[in-house]
Structures are given as structure tokens and as C-alpha cells.
Structure 1
């Protein structure tokens, strides 16, 4: 029987890529290696995920191939939990790379790439000096050759690998141009070509690396070691070994290692890495805390609720990394254009080198030189990087503000919204309704009505259910167990309740077995119903009048009854978020032409809400399916965004052109295209504004790149541009596009 091949997976970080073509080159070369199965390289964050057969190829072989292409690579961790790689080593490796990118001088002086550029530039300058001093030609050429070899070696090595894999990337084109200049006897031109290209790509790599550090800074916030309580002792252990339910201790100035709930202590916690809040949040027993946040003032004991790979911070990092590597619609167009443009220009360069010399007896040296210029112009580096550098920068900026975009498409779409629809409960309101009053419509006591409603609501996830249960517990009521529970979407719930009956026994031993007060379980055969007025038929006119009065006060009525009729009404109210009015004003300024509220509440409650917020449109008394249909109707008028909490508005969120979810819940992180982790509606206006600016910057970059390429293609075809100028134009335009995109990081 044939044994299945062993497959291993690695995750690594590739440094030095300055455009998406670099990532494609690495990915293509790794795919060609024997034993490699799957390869995925994310240009946005430099993350490499791949699987391979260790019997056919080793991890060292894979890393050597990447390094041969001129890039640096470091292992993040082995997914098979290799004993050779530890979490502390991972953090150390990342930290060293981050440190080198944090200081320009350190980057240029300590990295191999920076050192090559400096030495190459030194050779070029010495050649200039030798020329100005009138030294012999061989001395000048020697200095130029030093500059060419130092800067050109990694370019030539990567170019030869690209040639072997039949892929015409920028390294191959630059190698041909540099070698061609030397063969034509112009060593100064050759030295300038490789130096300017090396300088430009290295500078671009440095600037992009600093932008990518936004996510790596987040990764570095979670401490690798935490202190846990085991009996009376405190033990330091790796966070990966801590299970849910263990107690970790956090002293002032320490970072909280894992998500959990405070069980002891009072402190202020800086949550800015997750929520973007600038002011520390007070925490005490019962409050939730998040891994990676900073404990500032007091001692805390925290009971963990998630493992290290499932924390809110870990999930945010994963989502941001996925978003940074996603391809926006504009990027797809650019890639398609580049795939046509580059081969055409290469064919044009070949034609310019051959046709004038073969058919018109022109000077071969002159026209080969013109062809080399076109080869430099053939690579659309500035164009292909115009979108990803903007997307990476904008997503990094949004993350710092507590906003998670799921990808480039959502980032581009947010700024194009024509109509923004809000779910009311938990979105525009605090989501913490309170019981205000209880009306008895028969012989039932008010406490009995509350007890029945709370007993049924134990099986419900609706925000009003939590408020009713909380009020019942506050009054010390004992809740009964619901049976045959049925939830009726958009209307309410119904169930039978088990209560207790006195068995009437006198024997003390039997009584002790039966429990306190000699009570036996008994299933009440009456179906109780709790919900809105749509759940009940034949509501008396006087009750309808009472319901109208309640709604006019801006309160939400919850009706309680049986199939025989109503027995009571519970009224609740949910206050507006403190920032809701300001948020709506900012959103209307940010771009959407119309803001509308979608709610299941009555028209009078919705009317009060829109008057308080200054919104002119609403749709009331909507079932979940009605919200979905309303979104589809609104889409006939333009691009529609939907804002909700993901709990009972998931169909509408999924149907909208772009969806926004409020909060850090699992359902919010999974459901929406954009998540406002900060739980602050005002961040929505920032997200829309950032999207509009991002689209504007992408358009600027694409237009600038196309105009620059067209201009130099025209000039190069007629011999008005030299090799050095062509390289300067190519790398210069790439740098300008990069710097323009990076401006978004500071928006």
C-alpha cells in the first residue's frame, strides 16, 4: 500500500518587495520548485504561506530561492509546531526588522541592501571625480564597474532567474539595459542605470516597510509571557499554553495578555490599539478586557475567555492582513492593462533595434541604445503599485482609528454610498433598553406579568429580552422554564411554562426528598405569548388607544398574553447614543445623499427618533425580511450602505452594497464589510471620508503613471531620452506614487 506524501506548511515574512510584480515573481519562482504544492504571497503585508513536501525540498532550499531573487525572508512560525522555532524567536526576528525600518540611518547602514546602494553610489561618485581630475579612462571605468557590480549583482541574479522562468520582470529588463550599456562602451550610463534603479527600489522598499509596520506594531503589543495564578503561587508561562478559565495577574504598566473578564481589582486600561479611544477606560470586576491593551493604574486579576490565537487582537490582525492583501477593483484593471502594456513595449523595443538597422541601414549602436531605453520604460512599476500602496496605507490608518475594512473593494465602495440605512436598536440607540412601566389588563399582578414575560424571554436573543429579564431579577422574581418554545420572526415568542405545585405530603422523609415546600414540577398547559401587536389578534379598542399613547411617548410596548387574550403590557425605552446626533451630521457632510432609518418599531417611535436626529426619512414596523426588501428597493436609486449590529439585521447587511457593523462581537467581525471596533458612530463618517480620499489618491496615481509612461514612451521611441533619464523617470514616478499613497496613512 502506497504511503501518502507528507505535507508541511510554513509561514514567513518576505522583505524588500516594492511592487506587486515582485510578489508575482517570487510566487511564480516558488511554484516551479519541485516539491512545492501551494504558494500564496501577500504583497500588502509581505506574508508568505505555502505547503511543500519535505521529502523533496527543504525549507532552507525555499528560503535560498527567495534570497536569490534579491529579497530577505524570515520564518514567522512553523504550522506543524516545529521545535526549532519558538514564539520568542518569532517576536525577536520581527522586532529586529521593525527596528531597522524605524530609523532611516539604521536601515541604510545595517541592511545589506542599503549598504550595496551606498557603496555603489560611492563608486559612481569616485568615477565622476576621476573624470573631472582628468585621470585615465581605465581608472574611471574601474570605479564605474565597482558601482555596477555592487548594485547590479542582486539585479542580475534575480534577472537570470526570471529569464530561466520565462518571466519578463523589472530585474530582467534592468539587467539587459545595464549590460547593454556596458557592451556599447558607456560604463557611466550603465553605472547610473543600476545605481538609480537600486536606490529607487531600496528607498521604495523602506517606505513601504514602514507602512506595513502598522500591523506588525499590533502583533508586538501582545506579550509572549503572562503571569497566571496556580493555587497560592504565580507562574510565568507562554500565552499559547494558557487555557480558557485560567486566572492571569496584571500589574500597573503591564499589557494584558489575553481576552478575559476582570474578577478582582480596579484600574484604567488603555484600549487604543483596538478601539482607537484616546482616553483610558475604567475597569472593575465584571468588565471585559482585551489582550494587547495596557493596564495603567491598578492591579487586576483576569479570568481568560479566549485562547491566544482567538483573542480580539488576533482576529483583528488576521482581518487586517487579509484586507491589505486583497485586490481592489481598480487593481484588477491595472493588472490587466500592465499584462498587455509590457509585452507590447518589449516588442516595440525589439522592432526599434532591428528595423532601422536591417531595412534602413541605420547605425546599429544608436538604435540598440534606443531599444534599451524602451526596455526600461516597458515595466509599469508606478502603475501597478498605485493601488496597493494606497490600500495598504488607508487600511493601516483606519486600523489605528478602530475601523476594520475587510478588503480593498469595501474601502473603495464606502466613499461611493448614495443612501445609508441604519438599523435602530443597538445601532443608533445604546442597545440597553430599560423597563419603564407594567400595565395589567386583567386580574394578573404586575409582578406576575413580568415573571411570565421574563421566563419566556430566557430563550430569546433580542435586546428587549435582556432588559425584561434584568428587571425580573432586580425584583427578585423566580423564573420558570419554557417548554415547546417557538420564535416567530418579526412578531415575538410563545411557549408553555413549567411551574411548581405543592404535593401535600406529610411524611418528613418524603418531603425532604421532594425539596423545599414539597414542590413537584408541573407543566402548565397554557401557551403564553410575548411580542408586538402583530403577534395578537382582536386587540380591544381601549388597548389600541393605550398602545398609541405609549408609542407617542417614544416607548416600545411588549405585549404579554395567552391565546385567550392579552393579560398585560410592558413598556421599555432605549436611549439614543450620546454621539448619534453628531454622527448623523458628520455622515451627511461626508458624502451620502440620503440617510434613512429601518426599524421594527412603530411609526410614532420611529418619528420621534428621526426628529431627534434630524433625519428626514424612515421605514417603520419592518420585519427582518422587510428590511431586506427595503434595501433592495433602495438599491434601485443608487449604492446602498447598511449599518447594524449584525444580530437581527444580518440579511439586510448581506444584501447591501456595503455593510457596517458596530462593536467587537464575533457576529460583527464576521458579518460586515467594515467593522467599527471602537463602537463609536462618528468613526463611520471618518471611514466614508477616508474611502473617498483613497479613491481620489488611487485615481491621481493611475493618471500620473499613465501620463508619465506615455510621455517617456514617446520621447524614448525617437531618441530624446537617455538610459539614465529613463531609469530616473521610472523609479522617480514609482517613488512619487508611493509617497502620494502613503499620505493616506496620516489622514
Structure 2
């Protein structure tokens, strides 16, 4: 799947199949190979997660060329349409790892107890042999792969430390090191697997077949063969196979799995439904609006896969430092052996202390601390209908100081209604009625997707008005529209439209029309003028006014944002300032920027970023997409959001629940606190043990317990985020 970035940069996430022996070193080798391709800007490969994310210049190379380059390295690719594999997170492989951990524990205990009771030496060494073989299996595999690529990593460090302990007559300490190391790795894989299994659960939500209505009969058809416009039937208890609009019937649909809504949603003709959700009551006939590969559930699967392939900034930094740090630990160990021996110290005690130092200084807990927390946060958000498109955005959410909201469809319901239709009293022909004015306006607005246009057309339909055909439709973003209707051109627009677009044209009745707009706007209504152009003469025919209802939870949501530490809340809208300020005062917003064009929203976001540095933008429309991309964190309302907004945003709220916005920032802050605690535990344990070893000396078993104990602790602490609630 390719996601287009600003300018010519694109990002593709390739699903790769892991083959035996491919560890971090193999991933780095593939990364270096891909980075050598002209046009490639950034590469992140993980065989553990089964993904390769590549940012590239689309004018220089292509996704197909990158796919071929991956295949050239003998790496298998999985198509987006295939069911995602779970790699090391699959139950079978996790079960195998758990068995290996269990055998390591049994062997270690057997060897220790036999030696303690002065039992048969053969039994003792068989026990330790089992512990070393099964405890070091994955580590040795990774170490060999690492050395083949002329690199070093944690696996090699642990194998060397365990063999060092064995060589100085401390087999139990080496076995315990391998046991705890393999246990901590299994916990990390479990954390990754929980996140990966989120994709499998999404795939399982998608039925394979649909019951289509054809010639009055129901026919079972694979969902890949269903076209837009087909009608299928779902009965109570059925899972809806595809996205569509209810054509007939009424019922309630459980959308919790997709949007996070806690209660079933009533559905009636005209309402949208999503594939993968469950019809709870009532039989529904649904007209398909998206094919299987374009459905909301399929897009969500791709977004989750992309999110899991993106690393958080902290994790990227730690990954870059891993190899030099490991080399530093080896150098420190060599120095801890060489210097004392040169000064005449005994070899056995010197080597023992050096092995203890190597174990204590190993950064296992540091390496595991970030993915265990960030992947758990992504999985936790997914269960609540919140999709983070990568670990980077989880960390970004923690630092947001200001939030900007689009008004219509975000702070308000977006179900704008026409409230006033009035013909100007001194219109020349005098025969135009209010219904006639609405009919002309609906003819033009039928060609527009703007929320005011939809309200106009709906009002005409409610009055059963005949609507003439319109030709040569044109739209001026943020200002108005025009089209040829009957024998003239009808203009519909706000004050700016008539003052700029028609600024050089004399408009009869403009002043009284603008005065009427000011009156309507003072009442908190959005209003536009309707004018007709005949033979270069333009006259105002009348005006239309609209209102939009504020979401009932908007004020509480803003209050919750402030309690999280958000300093400034802004509303951005193309609507008039009076309407915007009325809504802002109602919900408690600090600043209003009204009558904005899309490019002016971007400029406002840039100004906010300059003032507050970390700014979130919340929106749902096409005209919000540039602002979403400009903000530090873009949040799209997924239920009513446009495809462009959903693709541009960093976080998607799969439902239209405003309470999820404080949840996003709260989860980000909780994740940051967890990362701080994890890193403090990891580095604190290393600093304490290393300083104690150098100053006073501690036994190897205590270093093993301290080192691997801290690794297990940070893994479990990260997994706590799976249960995060606001």
C-alpha cells in the first residue's frame, strides 16, 4: 500500500515474509541495499514485525521497482489483499518460544538442585546442557546471523556472557542469564503479537460472502465480485460484508469493533453502514458504495499495518545506538580483563568480575522498553476506535500544547439546516416566490458537496419542488458557486464572493442584501446571497440562512483538554465570524479564526506552530487536509471524514466521538510517562550495577537478576498500556 506524502515523496509499506535466521542484522542489510537505490529517502525493515517501510521520491523510483529490489534479496512479499501473517507474534511460534523458556527453566533447576544435593554429575550437566541449548537457541541463531553481516547486537552479547560464566565454573549463572533473557524476549514478542493480532481480528470481521438481491432473489456471491450499486441483505445477527447505504429497512448496528461506539447505532434508509459491523436488529437492504478493497475495514487494516511498521523517535534513537553501545560493552569487558591482569591480579577473579560487568552493562531493558510501550498503546487505541498511524504519533500526542478545530462536522454535527428563504422585496419581476428562489438555488447547489449546498437541496426535496437543470457549474473555494440555470447565470455566495469575485460588476440590490446578511449573522446564522445575471446585468434575488447544531459533548471535551494541560484552543472555519463566535462562546474556545480559505487555514496552523510549537488539528473535510498535514498532529474524524482527510491525518477517530480527542492526548501522555519510567528503570539498573561492580563488586547471579529482572519489568510495565482508559 502506498501513501502519498507532501511534494513528490511517497511512503509504501511492504509486507515481508520472515525466513529462518533473519534477525536484526539481516534487516539492516536489506535496509542498506534499499537505501542505495536512487530516490529512496528512508527505510525501516523489521523481519520481526513482517514489514518494510520505504519513503521514496516517486519522480525517481516506484513501488514496483522497490518490490523487485526486495525480491532480489531473496525476501518474500505478501500482497495487501492477502491475510496478514503474524510472524513471531503467531500463537504457534509464541508457544514454541514458551516451550523453550520452560525447558530452559527445567534444565537450570535440574542442574542447580542436582549440584546442591551432590547428585550424579552427569545429571547435573545434562540439566545445564538443556538450559544452555534451549535458552540460547534463538540468541545463537541471531548471533550467527549478526556475525555473518559483520555486526554485533544484544544476542551476541548474551551468548558470550553465558559462555563466559560457564568457562569460569558458574554454569547456573549462565543458565539463569539465558532463561531470563529468553523470557524477556518472549514477553516482547507477546507485546508485538498482541498488536499484530489486531490485524487478524480485523480480517476476521470481514465476511467472505454477501447475500445479493438479483431479480428478486437472494444470491450468495464472494465479496470480491460485488460491484458498487449492488444491493445485499443482512438479517439480525449478520455481520455486514461491505460499506454501503441503507436502501430499505430499519434496525440497529453494533459498530463498536470499528468506531469504538459503546451503544448500537440506529440505521434507516439513507444512513451509511460499514463492512465488518454487526446488524443487531431489523432486516436491512444495503446498496454498496465501496468495493471490498476500498472498504473502511480494508483501509483500517492497511493503516494498522503501516502504524506497526513505523517506529517512535525514541525507538529509532535506541536502535541507532544499539550497535555502538554493544561494541562499547565488549571494549569495557576487554579492558576489565586486560588492565587488572597487567597489574598482576588473578585471572579467575578478574574474568569473573569482567563477565559480571558485561551482563550488568548489557542494554536489553533499554532496547525492549520502547516497543513494549508504544505497540501496546497503538493496540489499546485500536480497541477504542482510535487509529495511530505509527509510534511517532503516539509520542507526538504527548507534547501537544494547542489544538485547532474545524467547526462544521467536527465541533458541530454537520447536519446544517436551512432556516430562512426570502426574496428581496423590490425584485424587478415580482413573480419570484420563496419556493422559486429555493428551486433556483437548489439547481446550482445540487452540483456541490458543501454542507450548505446539501442543506439547500434537502430543503427543496422536503418541499417537493421541481428543480431545473444547471450547466457550467463553477465553484470558488470558501466563497461561493455559480451555474447557468434556465436563461441566466445564478450566483450563490457569501459577502466575500460578491465583494471579490463580482467586485468589478455592478450588482443591483447588493447593499440591502449585505445588510440583511449582517442581520442574519447577528442571529448566529450562516447566510448567503442569491443573485441572477442576465445580459451582464446582475441583481440580488434574495438570501438563504442556515444553522448548525453544536455537538452536545463539545464543551465537556474542551474542558477535558484543558485538564490535560492544553494551553490554547482555536476554531478555524470558513463560516462568518458572528456564527463562529457564538459557537466558540458556547463550548469555551479561546480564539476564533473565521471566513478562512483552505490556504488561510494552513497559514493559521503555521502561526500556531510558531507560537506553541506542538499543535494538533482536528478536521473532517477535503479543505481540512492541508491543515491536517501542516499541524504537528493531524486528527481526522473518521465516521464523517472524507477519504482525503483520513489519508492525510496522523490519527483517525473511526467514530465521531469527540471524547476520543482527550483520549488520544491522554494516551500519548501516559505512554510518555511509561517510556520515562521504563528508561529510568533500564538505565538506573545499569548504572547502579556497573558502579557497584567497579567500586565494591557483586556476585554474577545478582547481576543477572538485576539485569534481566529490569528487562522483564519494563516489558510488563509497557503491557499495562493495553488496559488504558481515559
* TM-score, normalised via structure 2 length: 0.84
Aligned to 1:745: 722
Shift of 1:78: 4.5
Correspondent of 1:330 among 310, 314, 331 = 314
Structure 1 347/141 Cα, relative in aligned 2: closer, same or farther at 3 Å? same
* Cα RMSD (Å): 3.4
The answer on whether the counterparts of 1:215 and 1:396 sit within 8 Å (CA) in structure 2 is no
Aligned to 1:683: 660
Shift of 1:560: 0.6
Shift of 1:464: 0.3
Aligned to 1:261: 245
SS of the residue corresponding to residue 474 of structure 2 reads: strand
Shift of 1:117: 2.1
Aligned to 2:459: 471
Matches within 5 A, 1:225-624: 225-231=209-215, 234-357=218-341, 359-441=342-424, 442=427, 443=430, 444-497=432-485, 499=486, 524=487, 526-537=488-499, 542-562=512-532, 564-624=538-598
- Structure 1 residue 655 and structure 2 residue 617: aligned? no
Counterpart-to-counterpart distance in 1, 2:493 and 2:345: 90
SS of the residue corresponding to residue 480 of structure 1 reads: coil
Correspondent of 2:136 among 134, 139, 152 = 152
Structure 1 735/299 Cα, relative in aligned 2: closer, same or farther at 3 Å? same
Correspondent of 1:175 among 126, 134, 159 = 159
Shift of 1:11: 4.1
- Structure 1 residue 632 and structure 2 residue 623: aligned? no
Q: Deviations over 1:79-108 (max 9, x none)?
A: 399xxxxx6xx58x869976669xxxxx6x
The answer on whether the counterparts of 1:45 and 1:321 sit within 8 Å (CA) in structure 2 is no
Larger radius of gyration: 1
Q: Deviations over 1:666-691 (max 9, x none)?
A: 12311222222211212111111111
The answer on whether the counterparts of 1:266 and 1:285 sit within 8 Å (CA) in structure 2 is yes
Q: Deviations over 1:519-576 (max 9, x none)?
A: xxxxx2x332110122225765544443222112111111011352311011111111
Structure 1 55/328 Cα, relative in aligned 2: closer, same or farther at 3 Å? closer
Aligned to 2:4: none
- Structure 1 residue 732 and structure 2 residue 720: aligned? no
Counterpart-to-counterpart distance in 1, 2:552 and 2:634: 22
Structure 1 221/490 Cα, relative in aligned 2: closer, same or farther at 3 Å? closer
The answer on whether the counterparts of 1:44 and 1:321 sit within 8 Å (CA) in structure 2 is no
Q: Which moved more, 1:230-239 or 1:171-180?
A: 230-239
Counterpart-to-counterpart distance in 1, 2:626 and 2:74: 47
- Structure 1 residue 702 and structure 2 residue 679: aligned? yes
Q: Which moved more, 1:572-581 or 1:336-345?
A: 336-345
Gaps of 5+ in 2: 1-12, 54-65, 500-506
Counterpart-to-counterpart distance in 2, 1:235 and 1:97: 38
Q: Which moved more, 1:646-655 or 1:678-687?
A: 646-655
Shift of 1:169: 1.8
Aligned to 1:134: 118
Counterpart-to-counterpart distance in 2, 1:685 and 1:57: 45
Counterpart-to-counterpart distance in 1, 2:233 and 2:577: 51
Shift of 1:237: 4.5
Correspondent of 2:177 among 190, 193, 211 = 193
Structure 1 405/123 Cα, relative in aligned 2: closer, same or farther at 3 Å? closer
The answer on whether the counterparts of 2:26 and 2:149 sit within 8 Å (CA) in structure 1 is no
Structure 1 226/724 Cα, relative in aligned 2: closer, same or farther at 3 Å? farther
Counterpart-to-counterpart distance in 1, 2:381 and 2:267: 26
Counterpart-to-counterpart distance in 2, 1:468 and 1:269: 29
Shift of 1:279: 0.7
Structure 1 213/648 Cα, relative in aligned 2: closer, same or farther at 3 Å? same
Aligned to 1:512: none
Counterpart-to-counterpart distance in 1, 2:717 and 2:437: 64
* TM-score, normalised via structure 1 length: 0.82
SS of the residue corresponding to residue 136 of structure 2 reads: helix
Shift of 1:280: 1.0
Q: Which moved more, 1:384-393 or 1:473-482?
A: 473-482
- Structure 1 residue 641 and structure 2 residue 616: aligned? yes
The answer on whether the counterparts of 1:159 and 1:169 sit within 8 Å (CA) in structure 2 is yes
SS of the residue corresponding to residue 186 of structure 2 reads: helix
Q: Which moved more, 1:347-356 or 1:210-219?
A: 210-219
Shift of 1:32: 10
Counterpart-to-counterpart distance in 1, 2:598 and 2:698: 64
Counterpart-to-counterpart distance in 1, 2:117 and 2:18: 44
SS of the residue corresponding to residue 495 of structure 1 reads: strand
Counterpart-to-counterpart distance in 2, 1:301 and 1:680: 27
Structure 1 262/654 Cα, relative in aligned 2: closer, same or farther at 3 Å? same
Structure 1 709/408 Cα, relative in aligned 2: closer, same or farther at 3 Å? same
SS of the residue corresponding to residue 541 of structure 2 reads: strand
Gaps of 5+ in 1: 1-8, 63-76, 82-86, 102-106, 500-523
Shift of 1:47: 4.2
Counterpart-to-counterpart distance in 2, 1:33 and 1:604: 58
SS of the residue corresponding to residue 528 of structure 2 reads: strand
Counterpart-to-counterpart distance in 2, 1:633 and 1:726: 52
Counterpart-to-counterpart distance in 2, 1:541 and 1:197: 79
The answer on whether the counterparts of 1:258 and 1:304 sit within 8 Å (CA) in structure 2 is yes
Counterpart-to-counterpart distance in 2, 1:95 and 1:348: 36
Q: Deviations over 1:605-648 (max 9, x none)?
A: 22321222233432233333333332233233213222221332
Aligned to 2:24: 24
The answer on whether the counterparts of 2:86 and 2:197 sit within 8 Å (CA) in structure 1 is no
The answer on whether the counterparts of 1:249 and 1:301 sit within 8 Å (CA) in structure 2 is yes
The answer on whether the counterparts of 1:491 and 1:532 sit within 8 Å (CA) in structure 2 is yes
Structure 1 671/609 Cα, relative in aligned 2: closer, same or farther at 3 Å? same
Shift of 1:704: 2.2
Counterpart-to-counterpart distance in 1, 2:71 and 2:274: 42
Q: Which moved more, 1:49-58 or 1:449-458?
A: 49-58
Aligned to 2:56: none
The answer on whether the counterparts of 1:257 and 1:292 sit within 8 Å (CA) in structure 2 is yes
